[in-house]
A = this chain, B = another copy of it.
Amino acid sequence: MSSPQISPLAPTTQPSLPEIAGVRLATAQAGIRYKGRTDVLYVALDEGTQVAGVFTRSRCPSAPVDWCRSALEAKAGARALVVNSGNANAFTGLKGREAVTLTAQIAGRAAACAPEAVMIASTGVIGEPLDATKFGGVLADCAARAEPGGAAWTEAAQAIMTTDTFPKLATRTAEIGGSTVTINGIAKGAGMIAPDMATMLSFVFTDAALPQTVLQELLGEGTKKSFNCVTVDGDTSTSDTLLLFATGAAGSDPIEHADDPRLQSFRTALDDLLIELAQLVARDGEGARKLVTVRVEGAESDASAHRIAMSIANSPLVKTAVAGEDANWGRVVMAVGKAGEPADRDRLAIWFGDVRVAVEGARDPAYSEDAASAVMRAPEITVRVDLGLGQGTARVWTCDLTKAYVEINGDYRS
């Protein structure tokens, strides 16, 4: 596969991530599938590290997703994270379960911990057995040379890429009861490896001292406003995994409940970091040339607004219109109408950027095609819909649907 062009929506600079006490990283070439690039990320976590996770809702999850869910239930904390690219270990049956078990054993020996304290994620080919013996010498070596430094973070974000065109990193700081804590996150987006599917993986690390239950609640809430608001093509991977690790090394005061007011700064910083990572995923959608923010207001509830926003963001006709720089508000009406949510055609108003193109169920009489077209030519576009029914709002991100998407996903064998 030739190296893809970097997305035109990529950030112009990559952040340099600070160290997080209790977190050390190493990458390696295990030869899972790729040649000449790293395909394994190993993260060593100090004793006492707590972990929370959010996973794909697919009824056909990958073996690593099953493993992580069980490991979280064991409440054994986390001492190591192993991520490989090149093979998703999904739909691999009994062999898949054996492969994660062996991976956890190898990593457990490297980290001197129980297998249940090893979190695992895989992305890449589906249906191919993953040869976990390839981790044999690799993980012990990673454990020996894992480092906390900035370059290690960038290398980590690169090792988990599939057809991502740029590494995705973000960092924030927050205060918890007078202590400053740091949050670092990396993510990979919708990448495709023949024969495979899109997978979203993200790993977030903090030195805050927070128990698993609190982390889980913060992560669940944060996901709703970030990763669950991103869609590239509406297809949900078998492998989507988001993990939040807290080493506790910052020594902040013990916090028992997610509604503790001392968490306000941390919650804001975490939400903000998750949104940044989620947007980076949309910016690197396959074939993407435009970043689209869809805002829905005036719905009967936030949940209703979210479903309408996703209906717009997933509509192939809306997404091809954006690709064609066409202010085609008729397709937005169509996507509102098909969402199955309360909507009154004759109260609808629609904007592209600041240009109101439709109002009260018809074209805005003052609508200027030139002004709307100018909005559509920009690389970042906001589509706003006011339903005029209630107070529900939502915001989601997507990208346009281009011939490059079809090429990446359909033409790679030809």
Within 8 A of B (CB), among A7-58: 56-58
**Segment of A70-78, A152-160, A324-332 engaged in the interface with chain B:** A324-332
- CB under 8 Å from chain B, chain A span 320-340: 320-331, 333-340
Could you tell me the distance in whole angstroms from the C-beta of A410 to the nearest C-beta in chain B?
A: 4
Majority secondary structure of chain A interface residues (helix, strand, loop or mixed): loop
**Count of this chain's copies in the oligomeric assembly:** 2
A337 touches B406 (CB 8 A): no
Which stretch in A103-111, A204-212, A243-251, A354-362 binds the other chain? A354-362
A363 within 8 A of B: yes
Of A87-95, A112-120, A181-189, the one with at least 4 CB within 8 A of chain B: A87-95
Cross-chain contact A334 with B197 (CB below 8 angstroms)? yes
Q: A339-B59, A403-B406 are in contact. Are A127 and B363 (CB under 8 A)?
A: yes
Interface size class of A (residues with CB under 8 A): 35 or more
Q: Are B409 and A402 in contact (CB under 8 A)?
A: no
Q: Are A59 and B324 interface neighbours, CB within 8 A?
A: no
Residues of B close to A406: CB separation below 8 A = 320, 323, 401-403, 405-406
Contact A127 B323 (CB under 8 A): no
CB pair A238 B333 closer than 8 Å:
yes
Q: How far is the CB of A122 from chain B (nearest CB, A)?
A: 13
Q: Are A236 and B60 in touch, CB under 8 angstroms?
A: no
A/B interface sample: 19 pairs, CB < 8 A: A59-B338, A59-B343, A61-B345, A91-B363, A125-B330, A194-B326, A195-B330, A198-B317, A235-B335, A236-B334, A316-B316, A320-B405, A321-B409, A323-B406, A324-B409, A324-B413, A402-B406, A403-B403, A403-B406
Taking A60-B345, A91-B333 as known contacts, 13 extra A-B pairs with beta carbons closer than 8 A to each other, sorted by chain A number, are A91-B345, A91-B362, A93-B346, A95-B362, A127-B362, A197-B317, A316-B316, A316-B409, A317-B409, A320-B405, A323-B410, A325-B413, A402-B410
Chain A residues near B (Cβ < 8 Å): 56-61, 90-96, 125-128, 194-198, 233-238, 314-317, 320-331, 333-346, 348, 358, 360-363, 400-403, 405-407, 409-414
